[in-house]
Amino acid sequence: MKCLIIAAGKGRRLQQRGNSKPLIPILGIPLIERVIRAALEAGADEFYVVIGYRGEQVRDFLKQLAERLAIPITPLVNEDWEQENGVSVLQARGVLHEPFLLLMADHLFDPDLVRSLITLPLGDGEIALAVDGNTRNPLIDMGDVTRVRMEDDGSAESKKIRDIGKGLADFNGFDTGIFLCSPAIFKALEQSKEKDGDTSLSGAVRVMAAAGRAKAILTDEFWIDVDDSAAFRKAEQALLKRLRDKPGDGPVARYLNRPVSVRISRYLAQRDVTPNQISLFSFLCSVVAAGLFALGGYFALLVGGVLAQFASIIDGCDGEVARLKYQSSDFGGWFDAVLDRYADAFLLFGLTWHLLAASANGWILLAGFMAIIGSFMLSYTADKYDHLMRERIRAGGKAGLRMGRDVRVFLIFLGAVANLVLPVLVLIAVVMNLETLRRVSIARNA
């Protein structure tokens, strides 16, 4: 599907963050790139971007982005970029002759929002607008948002738009700035200009609403208009918050590691560092921690335990930065998993060595061996187990407590800090192997 993006404005209220609003980076990625990537993920495959203020700068970036993503991006120039946004939309009259997505360069959104919009049946000469029905959405700037009044049209999929505008007193939704348009939008813009001198998109929507050709589809998906510094900060926080909702997280990762790693990722995302480099750094921290365990003595044990837990926190940053900067890859996930297995072996072997140095005992060797084996088998069974849990959640059930690497490393940390290495090593051996057997039983009965 073709997609038109308005990116012509000056963005005066964000100029302290950059001289070209579409190119202002948020967590390391320019606004316009985030919009294009989200639309691409939702199903758009050809892009037209209306440029105006600092147009050459935006054009150069779009050319590079098109090459990186291997997608067609065509700039359309709006010489009257200081006029209302409908003037920018009119620049596409000559190139868009079928239904298309219409987006704003400063509106971030979840791809699922657009997916639900583009599946809506659109009649000839109609438009559809994604409308946020949550009138208490904390991400909304009530002083600037465009309001929408809708009513039922007898359809389970959509509603009718009756009115739209920033000054509406009677409203039941907010304009997300995300449209599915037919070419009729161009004629409506011209009619709005001729009738009321209004060249805004809202004016065109009012014209189409009066003719019964403006639909609304309700959404509760994430979206935000990044229009000023306050909205920019809200957008950053919202993007970071979304990183915390990872279904595969265990209790330690969810409630201890993730709140810290997200703060670190916020810093790393704005630096020239790759997720694979973060994975390697986390692994090296674990190796150093294992070496400290093997040195002997409580102080080395204590520092090693703290470093092991720090490495576990940093281990979450590689995936977070990858998602924030669209750098996720199959190799990256596999590489991180391989390094995690090596790190686990080093840490548990380091603890075993710590005990053996003080007392050469076969039971200690057995405990260390079973802890390493149990850890490896728990990781080996994770993919199948997590798949079954996702299926259970889809069916309306609840996933059980997930025992994973986060718990294991946290136990190592506690054992080192409390100087209870043998009890913790035995605990890890018992718990990891029992959890593996439990997963085998669940998979067998599934």
Q: CA-to-CA distance for 14 and 227, rounded, in angstroms?
A: 7
CA-to-CA dists, residue 56 to 73, 77, 78, 108, 227, angstroms: 14, 10, 12, 23, 22
Q: Are 38 and 109 in contact (CB under 8 A)?
A: yes
User: At the fourth CATH level, which superfamily is domain 2-232?
Assistant: Spore Coat Polysaccharide Biosynthesis Protein SpsA; Chain A (3.90.550.10)
Q: CA-to-CA distance for 353 and 368, rounded, in angstroms?
A: 9
pLDDT by position in tens, the chain (length 446): 999 999 999 988 898 898 999 999 999 999 999 999 999 999 999 999 999 999 999 999 999 999 999 999 999 999 999 999 999 999 999 999 999 999 999 999 999 999 999 988 888 899 999 999 998 999 998 888 999 999 987 776 789 999 999 989 999 999 999 999 999 999 999 999 998 899 999 999 999 999 999 999 999 999 999 999 999 999 999 999 988 877 677 889 989 999 999 999 999 999 999 999 999 999 999 999 999 999 989 999 999 999 999 999 999 999 999 999 999 999 999 999 999 999 999 999 999 999 999 888 889 999 999 999 999 988 888 777 777 766 765 666 565 566 788 999 999 999 999 999 999 999 999 999 998 898 888 888 76
Q: Supply 233's token pair.
A: 């900060």
Over residues 242-298, the pLDDT tens digits come to 888 776 778 899 899 999 999 999 999 999 999 999 999 999 999 999 999 999 899
pLDDT at 20: 94
Q: CA-to-CA distance for 69 and 124, rounded, in angstroms?
A: 33
pLDDT at 158: 86
- DSSP structural state of residue 360: -
Considering the domain delimited by 244-445, tell me its CATH architecture: Up-down Bundle (1.20)
User: Bridge partners of 175?
Assistant: 131
| CB proximity list for 23: less than 8 A, separation 6 or greater | 30, 31, 32, 57, 58, 61
Helix/strand number for the chain, H first, E second: 16, 13
pLDDT at 151: 92
Exposed (0-12), middle (13-18) or buried (19+): which is 435, by Cβ within 10 Å? buried
User: For the chain, where do the domains classified as CATH 1.20.120.1760 start and end?
Assistant: 244-445
Place of tokens 């070419």: 183
Mapping DSSP to helix (H, G, I), strand (E, B) and coil, where does residue 302 land?
helix
Q: Is the pTM of this model over 0.75?
A: yes
Mapping DSSP to helix (H, G, I), strand (E, B) and coil, where does residue 150 land?
strand
Q: CA-to-CA distance for 191 and 210, rounded, in angstroms?
A: 12
Over residues 40-57, the pLDDT tens digits come to 999 999 999 999 999 999
